[in-house]
Chain A
Amino acid sequence: MKTVDIQVHEVTRVEGHGNIVLRAKDGTVEECKLEITEAPRFFEAMLKDRSWWEASFITCRICGICSVGHTTASLKATEAAMDVEISEQTLLLRKILFYAEQLQSHILHTYFLVAPDQFKVGSVIPLASTHPDVVRRALRLKKLANELCGIIAGRHVHPQATVVGGFTRIPTMDELKMARQMLLDAEPDMKATVELFAGLTWPDFTRETEYVALSTEDEYAFYDGTLSSSDGQSVTASNYKEIIHEKIVPHSTAKHAFHNRESYMVGALARYNLNHKELRAEARNAAKKLGLKAPCHNPYMISVAQVVECVHCFYEAIDLVDQLLEKGLKPEVPNVKPKAGRGVGLAEVPRGLLVHDYTYNERGLITDANCIIPTAQNLGNIDRDIRAIAPQIIDRPKEEIRLLLEMLVRAYDPCISCSVHLLDIKFV
């Protein structure tokens, strides 16, 4: 019987700071935990007394990687609070921007953070000499996503043109045509990405859990939808607290999220399990090639679901650009009259469900704010996955255990600085 003591200080290739600890004595797991050591930033407190127009520019800075996601949820919350209707043109532009961020984030995660484990190297840097075609393709796709964001909103990290009610600048028709051409030129890269990931194998581990995501009948939900659980029940945005229950547990300084069970999963695999029927045909074919079948209970397959979503977002973006090119673009001036009220904005950002919930006074200043981040919702589920897999792998060589645990945490694509936007987390 084996005694193991594994401490991964600051898991690499994740966003933010976290440690994995696993201690087993005589073959029995005594302690396993994911410690989050990120510095808390107190965004909710900082939002108090800030003006309606500032909210999205402040909260997008919770996270550099999902900046567009935070912007979107924030704008939706403020628009809901102030009864602001957005035009169809704004909706289409926002969706393209949103899909471009999914692509940027998933490509970064699958190629730069996950793939090195598959090639048995520590980062993408050695791959630049051993697999230059793979690295160059990843960079081309990342650049495509960044440039699409640039055309729609100025830039990906903290976009400038996105404001309550619409945009401060509308792209030109020429820019949209350029966006279309860039997408079409990248189609071979998108196909090669599916081929690459279809050739990889993933650790064999399953643990059935509850899956939570937005859902709609007309499309694979990213921008909007009703909040739904695989255990049944779906609610509208303003009733999100009926599904997302937060509790303070003695061993954790973070509020854990739960609904029907001890924990649930959000993100690409949760979306896939709930909404796979709404995927575009191209993405459904990709899922087939990649060996992803719903329902899938293997958390390591989150990365595969991300590749499927890349394909979906890629073709969806082309369609939306085509729609805008056909309709033509017209200048619009956002019209907002600040008023008192509460608004909730939900969106499916790369790592899962994001909630922004603001209350405004009659001067349009925030009196109360709450943001619930995907990674914070996933932390309880990661913890339970670690507890479930640890006894199954405890007899393997220490380095292999360490790698499997790191890969598990990495699979969730945790965005730790996001999740610790307000809290310091430790759970044992």
Chain B
Amino acid sequence: MKPRLAFISFASCEGCQLMFLNLEDEILKLLDAVEVADFREAMTERSDKYDVAFVEGSITRPSDEQKLKEIRERASVLIAFGACACTGGVNRMKNLHDLSAVRSYVYGDKKDWFETSACKALDEVVKVDHYIRGCPVSKREILEVVKSLLFGRPPAIPEYPVCIECKLAENVCVFQKGMVCLGPITRAGCDPMCPSYGNRCIGCRGLIDNPNKNAALSVLEEHGLTVEDILREFTIFQAYAEEKK
């Protein structure tokens, strides 16, 4: 029987679901191999019976925690789909401010009308089986995870930093161009798209497991920088790292 997939979103831009729809060359073949049980952004038929849940977005209010727990009970495999789901993504910057002040700034004296809580990644609420990282996710990793589920093997997701891929892509090192980049400590798998397009890595895929003990750190040493120095430059996706301090 074909595995039944569900695409469900919490606080997010739904750009990762769009990346799934952007698999223009593969999507028709993919739909032969799997059944889509729920995809609110693209289809009307909806079902609660699914095997694999691709969950996009972060958890930002108590009622969504409950919804996520129900999804966890239904799905045999739960995938955190994109940066918002994996680490809290950009939504997490909210946690760096006083929550009451954030609500007042936006809602004024009506701030108590709305339910909101500190932003959480999915794995702060339920067990997550696989992570598809990035903002947005890469199409290649979507396919890798779907294939691995079909073949019953673990997905091959890089454990090394972006620097490795950048060298393979023969990019000029961003540090050599006089800029600071999160590549040495960010998990690879993005085909170093940002450095390849002349920009810097802003760390959307999250930190590698041991940022302070990896070979790419020599790049930082050469430029007299520490992991903390480069993290300070980039808050956009690193609010989760700042919170842990």
Q: Do A and B come from one complex?
A: yes
Judge if B46 is at the interface, Cβ distance under 8 Å. yes
Size band of the A side of the interface? 35 or more
Number of interface residues of B (CB under 8 A): 59
A112/B235 in contact, CB under 8 A: no
B199 CB contact (under 8 Å) in A122, A143, A168: A168
Which residues of A lie under 8 Å from residue B15 when comparing CB positions? 61, 63-65, 67, 157-158
Min Cβ gap A121→B in Å is 8
Judge if A259 is at the interface, Cβ distance under 8 Å. no
Judge if B45 is at the interface, Cβ distance under 8 Å. yes
Assembly CA distance A144 to B228 (angstroms)? 41
B44/A122 in contact, CB under 8 A: yes
Which residues of B lie under 8 Å from residue A125 when comparing CB positions? 31, 36, 43
Considering the complex, give the chain A residue whose CB is closest to the CB of B194.
A160
- The verdict on A61 contacting B13 (CB below 8 Å), with A15-B41, A40-B116 known, is yes
Considering the complex, give the chain B residue whose CB is closest to the CB of A421.
B13
Assembly CA distance A331 to B31 (angstroms)? 43
In A9-53, the 8 Å CB interface with B consists of 10, 12-17, 38-42, 44-46, 48, 50
A61/B90 in contact, CB under 8 A: yes
Considering the complex, give the chain A residue whose CB is closest to the CB of B90.
A61
B25/A169 in contact, CB under 8 A: no
Assembly CA distance A16 to B57 (angstroms)? 11
Min Cβ gap A343→B in Å is 20
A50/B235 in contact, CB under 8 A: yes
B14/A154 in contact, CB under 8 A: no
Judge if A351 is at the interface, Cβ distance under 8 Å. no
B21/A112 in contact, CB under 8 A: yes
Interface flags, A119-134, vs B, CB<8A=1, else 0: 0001111001000000
Interface flags, A151-165, vs B, CB<8A=1, else 0: 001111110110100
Judge if B151 is at the interface, Cβ distance under 8 Å. no
Judge if B11 is at the interface, Cβ distance under 8 Å. yes
Which residues of B lie under 8 Å from residue A67 when comparing CB positions? 13, 15
A169/B136 in contact, CB under 8 A: no
Which residues of B lie under 8 Å from residue A423 when comparing CB positions? 106-107
Judge if A243 is at the interface, Cβ distance under 8 Å. no
Which residues of A lie under 8 Å from residue B105 when comparing CB positions? 44-45, 48
A160/B199 in contact, CB under 8 A: yes
Assembly CA distance A167 to B197 (angstroms)? 9
Assembly CA distance A245 to B114 (angstroms)? 23
14 more CB-based (< 8 A) A-B contacts, given A12-B41, A40-B11 = A13-B43, A39-B64, A42-B102, A45-B97, A45-B105, A45-B106, A64-B19, A108-B18, A125-B31, A154-B199, A157-B15, A160-B197, A161-B198, A168-B199
A-B contact pairs, 17 of them (CB 8 A): A40-B114, A45-B105, A46-B90, A50-B235, A64-B12, A64-B136, A67-B15, A116-B43, A123-B43, A124-B43, A142-B22, A143-B25, A146-B22, A154-B199, A155-B136, A157-B136, A417-B14
